[in-house]
Structure 1
Amino acid sequence: MNGKLYGVGLGPGDPSLMTLRAVEAIAEADVVAYHSARHGRSIARSIAAKHLRADHVEEPLVYPLTTETTDHPGGYRGAMEEFYAEAAARLAVHLDAGRTVAVLAEGDPLFYGSYMHMHKRLADRYETEVIPGVTSVSAAAARLGTPLAEGEEVLTILPGTLPEEELTARLASTDSAVVMKLGRTFPSVRRALEGAGRLADARYVERATMEGERLAALADVDPESVPYFSVAVLPSRVDVERPTAGEGACGEVVVVGTGPAGPLWLTPETRGALAAADDLVGYTTYLDRVPTRPGQRRHGSDNRVEAERAEFALQLALRGRRVAVVSGGDPGIFAMATAVLEAACEEAYAHVPVRVLPGVTAAHAAAARAGAPLGHDFATISLSDRLKPWEVIAERLRAAASADLVLALYNPGSRSRTWQVGKARDLLLEHRAPDTPVVVARDVGGSGERVRVVRLGELDPAEVDMRTVLLVGSSQTRAVRRGDGGDGEEVVWTPRRYPEA
């Protein structure tokens, strides 16, 4: 009869944090295995030392390398794969002989631990039990005495070995976070926290619950002093007192684009700016897309008061508030960035910091749904004559159409504007063939999404409203039904090469 395999979680370091089941499993084992570096010392063994007996067979699994280079033909990964295969084979000999094997693991066996490499190679062949342990994440939070995540907050756990740009994006977009595997990665982790605007909130925990434990503000830590057994922590933001800019100091205004619909369309940078804001200002429909956060103030208003909304946001910033002005799509395309910057250039607000963060535009979202109609030169025109005369719109439509540009038409119609689409269609038919593909995209990304491809001569103004964007093809734009017999989905694309090229 084969023996049994145990993956034994030992907790974060303090032997008193081992579970009763972990102690029982070690007592039941004939063989105790543990990983160690080439110096032979094993943290896992030291945690469990008082539970080891003289009759235990010990199997030290000594790593061939840690972070240094290797001449192995498969490089670092190849050397480690070979080591894990050999270690699993050694343990299999004991299991085949009917011996029970306990593999010791710091923290939890299946959480960034070496045991998992044994588990993947052995668990399908032998009876196996994994005994969970207190993770370093839980230990760090306990030692800091602060919640990691509360309510609907999202906790993100990241390895410090990720590329710095990826770390920055993820840290900017999450509520709270723990970054593991510091050591030599600490400088890039620190830069990522700073780039994400989270450095001031970050805490540092070294050897939680172990001898030599250290807690500090991460910004104050010397990179040369950071060992591998340390973590960076961004605790919960709930009930945290947000420091203001100070008496007489100025806050800032960040104009953000939420994309055409909900959270799937937000960029990590925008998520971070929304989370960090003291106040959210915007059209109520767009504010409703942003999760409610404790401590934030929301100032919703009608869609037709852009100038007043911009000035209100700047006034809040003058009082030291961090303000996010929420816009749909991209804030710089027929949206709030222009209104904010126009007001910000007035003398009273000239010293208020203003940033604009991009978002996915309605045109780009619609184009992606249809295929690639914007694959060549295109022009973007608003059909709304509320802020410019129809004569100007008509002149620009003629110019773009005669230049054979694909057209992205915003604000094509509303309850009070019902004739512009028909006028635009008739004007474009002077320059385009009636069978020119037109993408009619409504509420892309939303619950009422509907994307259709019609021909310019058949475009019905009655099917177009204020939540619709139109993409009118050029002479080169193609619409093709794919699939067996040409009865599949119709896709639209504009070639990047003109025939003369």
Structure 2
Amino acid sequence: MAVTPVVVCLNRSGEALAHRLAKLLDAQVHGREMRVDQADAFFPNALDHVRMLFAAGTPIVGVCASGILIRAVAPILADKTAEPPVVSVADDGSVVVPLLGGHRGANRLAKQIADEIGAIAAVTTAGDVSLGIALDEPPAGWRLVNPGDAKTAMAALLAGGGATVGDDEASKASWLDALPAGDAVKISCTMEPVETGPEHLHFAPQRVALGVGCARNCPPEELAALVTEVMKEAQLTPDAIHSVNTITLKADEPAIIELAKSLGAPLRLFDAETLEAETPRLENPSDVVFAEVGTQGVSEAAALAQTGEDGILWYPKRKTANATCAFALTTEPMVEVKGRTRGKLSIVSIGPGQHTWRTPEASHLLQEAEELVGYGLYIDLIGPMAAGKTRSDFPLGGEEDRCRYALEQAGKGKNVALVCSGDAGIYAMGALVYELLDRDPDEKGVSDAARRVEVVSTPGVSALQGAAARAGAPLGHDFCAISLSDLLTHREDIVKRLHAAAEGDFVIAFYNPVSKKRRTLLAEARDILLKHRPADTPVMLASNLGRPTEQIRYRKLSELEVDEVDMLTVVLVGSSNSRLAQLGEGPRMFTPRGYARRIDGDLS
């Protein structure tokens, strides 16, 4: 369980225990508003909040009744192999119950908590109860090569059978000593490949650090073939590889990234200074390599840097035209992972603000981020998800500085989330991030380190979509979006697009309709549209979408006034076919798709 859990507390009777558990787990306390006095973050609704944490992949320790947690997560249960652990703890600290994710950290977490507070860990998974072990959850430093066979093997043991533990690394696998002896299941503990099956499990000790280097844009298959060749010579199963290690300059090298992904091993990076310190232990130091990257070796040095002083160079540098690799070996399975990760920038779209409109992927990226960057209001909108994280607030304006800062922080190896309202790819920060990465350094681009980071984007509910949903179905036929801000677009280009959209009879969503200084373009847009569509064309004004101050109102196009629109308002102007349906809940705006004509057979 790599992600730090959150301790959820619902009332004062469990508050002291919640803080005790938070200290034990180095976690935060999220408390129910008005019912908990002290917490790192507060929430108004327990079911919504627990569901949001669960969807984000956050392990949950709830100091509350089990039923509350069950009701919260039940609607979104899907893939048990990907869902986070959920543990409930009684308010009085008497019982700890792992509810979900028993073999993915919940059982271990429950036992840790129970040992600390003197409670009973109500573990119910069969293997833990009968055998005191979960074969599909080996300790750190070991990997089960054939996890798909664990269930069958465990069933054989639970049926009364025993296990034979053997091979050259068996003495290091003391965690298997509690298994009953017998021949129902064979367990191999070795770094070598073995034939496996439902009655033959293979646990590989992760004693090998792989170091790699390559020329820029080395073909991924060339590096993979080189590593495979050496593994075959060493009679090494890929699951015994603890990590893939290289110099920071190669953080964005596709061949290395793909290799680490194919091996299922973490990619770790070391700077040139750290690698140069390993020079006395290298078998193939090179002045040529030093002149190029600042260290006498990359693959050998990176492998040794990961293993530390106890490691030895097992297979020295092997090379092809464009790639090198080396293997370092330790005497015991490696638990610690040294070096740093590749930096990551997540461009996170949070929608209009309310968490129910935020995708689980967006919540997950926010949860795993170390630092949040964005306009202060947008970071505030994610509420408890921001608690305990470094946040760098920027005012409106200066968007380029905001994006550049986020990229440079990621370039230091951090996991950074650039928080954007709506959809970051629609009139927002997404395009600017990629523009900065595409610029040359002398064109006010970003540093080389920032260019090597991983950049991911997640979609969000745009203001256009949110307004359309509140309206009814105004985007039922062809539509477009036009920004009325002339800060980045020439005014004449905006006017040209207005005329084209008006003549094309599109439904139009106006972004950035006005500001304190820009007051004329919306009125000009209204007048242009009135030349092409009826005066009573419906117009929707949607302000503060998804927030407590949300306001929806309708106007006729001829009655649209600039003074009732601000920067937080989306203006949706219907086409000549759009209309309002009068319902009990109020008017709903829609644009017919043409189904009535299809029914009548009029498609000419």
TM-score range normalised by the length of the shorter chain: 0.5 to 0.7
How far apart, in 1, do the equivalents of 2:477 and 2:53 lie? 33
The alignment partner of 2:129 has SS state of: coil
2:404 maps to: 311
1:494 aligned to which of 586, 591, 597? 591
Q: Name the Cα RMSD after superposition.
A: 3.6
Q: Which amino acid aligns with 1:287?
A: I
The alignment partner of 1:214 has SS state of: coil
Alignment of 1:392-407 (within 5 A): 392-407=493-508
Q: Which amino acid aligns with 1:212?
A: L
Alignment of 1:85-100 (within 5 A): none
2:59 aligned to which of 176, 195, 200? 176
1:475 aligned to which of 576, 579, 583? 576
1:335 maps to: 428
- Cα pair 2:372 2:386 within 8 Å, conserved: no
Instruction: Work out whether 1:214 is the aligned partner of 2:133.
Output: yes
How far apart, in 2, do the equivalents of 1:325 and 1:458 lie? 39
Instruction: Provide, for residues 61-113 of structure 1, a one-character-per-residue CA deviation record: whole Å limited to 9, x for no partner.
Output: xxxxxxxxxxxxxxxxxxxxxxxxxxxxxxxxxxxxxxxxxxxxxxxxxxxxx
The alignment partner of 1:490 has SS state of: strand
User: Structure 1, unaligned stretches of length 5 or more?
Assistant: 1-141, 155-167, 181-186, 194-198, 231-242
- Cα pair 1:203 1:217 within 8 Å, conserved: no
Instruction: Work out whether 1:384 is the aligned partner of 2:485.
Output: yes
Instruction: Work out whether 1:225 is the aligned partner of 2:145.
Output: no
2:517 aligned to which of 384, 407, 416? 416
- Cα pair 2:52 2:363 within 8 Å, conserved: no
How far apart, in 2, do the equivalents of 1:335 and 1:381 lie? 13
Do the aligned partners of residues 299 and 214 (structure 1) sit closer, same or farther apart at CA in structure 2, a change above 3 Å counting?
A: same
Instruction: Work out whether 1:253 is the aligned partner of 2:345.
Output: yes
How far apart, in 1, do the equivalents of 2:510 and 2:472 lie? 17
CA shift for structure 1 position 394: 0.9
How far apart, in 2, do the equivalents of 1:385 and 1:442 lie? 21
2:88 maps to: none
Instruction: Work out whether 1:344 is the aligned partner of 2:227.
Output: no
The alignment partner of 1:151 has SS state of: strand
- Cα pair 1:382 1:412 within 8 Å, conserved: yes
How far apart, in 2, do the equivalents of 1:355 and 1:153 lie? 31
- Cα pair 1:282 1:301 within 8 Å, conserved: yes
Do the aligned partners of residues 224 and 446 (structure 1) sit closer, same or farther apart at CA in structure 2, a change above 3 Å counting?
A: same
- Cα pair 1:153 1:176 within 8 Å, conserved: no
Instruction: Work out whether 1:203 is the aligned partner of 2:105.
Output: yes
CA shift for structure 1 position 333: 0.3
CA shift for structure 1 position 342: 1.0
1:435 maps to: 536
2:393 maps to: 300
- Cα pair 1:153 1:175 within 8 Å, conserved: no
Alignment of 1:25-64 (within 5 A): none
How far apart, in 2, do the equivalents of 1:188 and 1:446 lie? 31
Structure 1, 347-356 or 283-292: larger mean CA deviation: 347-356
Q: Which amino acid aligns with 2:487?
A: R
Do the aligned partners of residues 293 and 491 (structure 1) sit closer, same or farther apart at CA in structure 2, a change above 3 Å counting?
A: closer
The alignment partner of 1:421 has SS state of: helix
% identical equivalent positions: 36
Q: Which amino acid aligns with 1:223?
A: G
The alignment partner of 1:323 has SS state of: strand
Do the aligned partners of residues 148 and 310 (structure 1) sit closer, same or farther apart at CA in structure 2, a change above 3 Å counting?
A: closer
How far apart, in 2, do the equivalents of 1:345 and 1:190 lie? 38
Alignment of 1:55-134 (within 5 A): none
1:426 maps to: 527
Instruction: Provide, for residues 35-79 of structure 1, a one-character-per-residue CA deviation record: whole Å limited to 9, x for no partner.
Output: xxxxxxxxxxxxxxxxxxxxxxxxxxxxxxxxxxxxxxxxxxxxx
Instruction: Provide, for residues 370-397 of structure 1, a one-character-per-residue CA deviation record: whole Å limited to 9, x for no partner.
Output: 1100111100110111111221111101
How far apart, in 2, do the equivalents of 1:454 and 1:151 lie? 47
- Cα pair 1:477 1:493 within 8 Å, conserved: yes
1:320 maps to: 413
How far apart, in 1, do the equivalents of 2:268 and 2:388 lie? 16
- Identify the structure with bigger relative contact order (alpha carbons < 8 Å, sequence gap 6+): 1
2:276 maps to: none
How far apart, in 2, do the equivalents of 1:211 and 1:287 lie? 48
CA shift for structure 1 position 408: 0.6
How far apart, in 2, do the equivalents of 1:365 and 1:435 lie? 23
1:152 maps to: 30
The alignment partner of 2:401 has SS state of: helix
Q: Which amino acid aligns with 1:284?
A: G
Q: Which amino acid aligns with 2:589?
A: V
CA shift for structure 1 position 191: 5.5
The alignment partner of 2:381 has SS state of: coil
CA shift for structure 1 position 212: 0.7
Q: Which amino acid aligns with 1:317?
A: A
Do the aligned partners of residues 188 and 424 (structure 1) sit closer, same or farther apart at CA in structure 2, a change above 3 Å counting?
A: closer
CA shift for structure 1 position 417: 1.3
CA shift for structure 1 position 435: 0.5
Do the aligned partners of residues 188 and 415 (structure 1) sit closer, same or farther apart at CA in structure 2, a change above 3 Å counting?
A: closer
CA shift for structure 1 position 344: 2.0
Do the aligned partners of residues 245 and 411 (structure 1) sit closer, same or farther apart at CA in structure 2, a change above 3 Å counting?
A: farther
1:449 maps to: 550
CA shift for structure 1 position 479: 0.9
CA shift for structure 1 position 286: 0.5
CA shift for structure 1 position 171: 5.0
1:55 maps to: none
1:269 aligned to which of 357, 361, 377? 361
The alignment partner of 2:413 has SS state of: coil
How far apart, in 1, do the equivalents of 2:417 and 2:26 lie? 25
Do the aligned partners of residues 293 and 334 (structure 1) sit closer, same or farther apart at CA in structure 2, a change above 3 Å counting?
A: closer
Instruction: Provide, for residues 306-362 of structure 1, a one-character-per-residue CA deviation record: whole Å limited to 9, x for no partner.
Output: 111111111111111011100010000000101111112246343321111000010
1:288 maps to: 380
How far apart, in 1, do the equivalents of 2:477 and 2:380 lie? 35
1:184 maps to: none
How far apart, in 2, do the equivalents of 1:275 and 1:153 lie? 17
Instruction: Provide, for residues 407-438 of structure 1, a one-character-per-residue CA deviation record: whole Å limited to 9, x for no partner.
Output: 01111011121222111111111111100000
The alignment partner of 2:539 has SS state of: strand
CA shift for structure 1 position 210: 2.7
How many residues align structurally? 318
Q: Which amino acid aligns with 1:173?
A: A
CA shift for structure 1 position 297: 0.8
The alignment partner of 1:152 has SS state of: strand
The alignment partner of 1:404 has SS state of: coil
The alignment partner of 1:475 has SS state of: coil
How far apart, in 1, do the equivalents of 2:460 and 2:512 lie? 18
